Each structure stands twice: as C-alpha cells, then as structure tokens.
Structure 1
Amino acid sequence: MSEDFYCEEVLSGNTPVRKVWETERVLAYYHTRPYYEVHIVVIPKRHIASLLTVEEADADLLIEMVDVVKKVASQLVSEYGACRVMTNLGEYQDSKHLHWHVFFGKQIRE
C-alpha cells in the first residue's frame, strides 16, 4: 500500500469511490476494500498525517470532520441500530492520512 492512499488514489481520482457524504473539505465514502459488512471512511480533502499531527489551525476542519462522522454514524445507527467509529495511529495506521472508519456488522476480512 502507498504511504498515503487517500491523497494518491482517492482524492486524485485514480481510485473511484462510492460517496456517502461530501463537503467542500471532507469526504465520506464506502471503503474500497471493506473489513466489515458496512464500512465507510471519512477523510479530510487536505493532507493531515494523523490525529497526532492535528494543529490548532486545523480546528475548524477537525470539527467539520467530526460533524460528517456524526452524520454518517447517525445514518448507520438509524438503519442498523448500532455502529462503531475508529481511527488508527502509529503502526496500526496503514495510510498516513487522517481518517476515521465508521462501520457496522461482522468483520469480513483481516
């Protein structure tokens, strides 16, 4: 996998995605290789390496991202009754671009 799949593939248009929600600065879409039955990824359209590198100047963008995560999570809870929201850090973070996973259901791959 590339160091930043989201910038290099998704945001560049090289890998087409099925959008769930979009604002001027945030994109939510169905994971291209889902780990769960329903698996949505929320990313900023501007590169931020991870939650650990968010700076004070990113506050408005972070609030907007959380708002999109909330909207997507609300849709899943409304439809399925539950969901999980997760972000990975360090070695757990395959793509070095801030993102949240919003998902429901059984794990379908490891």
Structure 2
Amino acid sequence: MSDCLFCKIIAGDIPSKKVYEDDEYLAFWDIAPKAPVHILLIPKKHVTSLYHLDDSNVSVVQGMMSKAPEIAKLMELNDGFRAVVNTGDGGGQEVGHIHFHILGDVRKATWSGFPLQDN
C-alpha cells in the first residue's frame, strides 16, 4: 500500500532500526518506546488490522504468533515479554498495518496498556 508507513519501511523508503527480517516479517525498534525493550513486529504482506483478517490472510497473524517469542529470545527477554495488538482507532491503533508490540522489562515501562496514555 503506497501511503502506508509500515509498507514504506518494508520497502526501505523510511529507515528503521531492524532487529529481525525474513521473507515474510520485519521487526524493528519502536521510535516512541513505552518500555525498555519495545519492538514492532510487522508482516510484509499488508493487512490493515485484526478486523481485516479472513481466510486469505489469517496465516499472517498465525506466523506473527510464532515469530514473537523468537524475537523476544533475540532480545534476551528471558524473564518474559508482553505482546500487544491494537485494533482500530478505538483500540489505539495508530498505523493502519497490523503489528505486534513486543515489550520487555515491562516493570520499568511508561505504559501499562490500561488506559491508553500519552507519554
């Protein structure tokens, strides 16, 4: 999608600090982290949100569920991590491309998730 921020990052038009990449997924540091480790995991296939899943693309999220712990291990989050998916404006989604927030060291986080806060 030409106007999608994350599609532009995937295409290399916008730089990111990558931590993982393969043929289907990209993970990079969030530019406005809410925890000491805050990684965004995105599929290279554009899916707008969980509301837009159907039989043709549900495997995208299934793959993300497998990649999240791999990325957490790469980031040495051995004590655990939080995976968050915001969906739609009411759910706090800011970029219209499905993504997981992988958060580590959440005890030191500036965001609890409830309620959404501007930090």
The two structures have a TM-score, normalised by structure 2, of 0.76
Bigger relative contact order (CA 8 A; separation at least 6): 1
Which consecutive unaligned segments of at least 5 residues does structure 1 have?
none
1:47 aligns with 2:46: yes
1:101 aligns with 2:98: no
- RMSD value, Cα: 2.0
Which consecutive unaligned segments of at least 5 residues does structure 2 have?
112-117
Structure 1 segments of 4+ aligned residues over 6 angstroms from their partners: none
Match of residue 66 from structure 2: 67
- Separation (CA, whole Å) in 1 of partners of 2:94 and 2:65: 21
1:88 aligns with 2:86: yes
- Separation (CA, whole Å) in 2 of partners of 1:12 and 1:35: 26
Q: Deviations over 1:26-69 (max 9, x none)?
A: 11111122222110000011110001111111133322221111
- Separation (CA, whole Å) in 2 of partners of 1:102 and 1:94: 16
Instruction: Provide the aligned length of Structure 1 versus Structure 2.
Output: 105
The aligned amino acid for 1:41 is L
Q: Deviations over 1:58-101 (max 9, x none)?
A: 133322221111212344431xx121110101211110100000
The two structures have a TM-score, normalised by structure 1, of 0.81
- Separation (CA, whole Å) in 1 of partners of 2:32 and 2:11: 18
The structure with the greater share of residues assigned to helix is 1
The aligned amino acid for 2:77 is V
- Separation (CA, whole Å) in 1 of partners of 2:11 and 2:33: 20
Identity %: 26
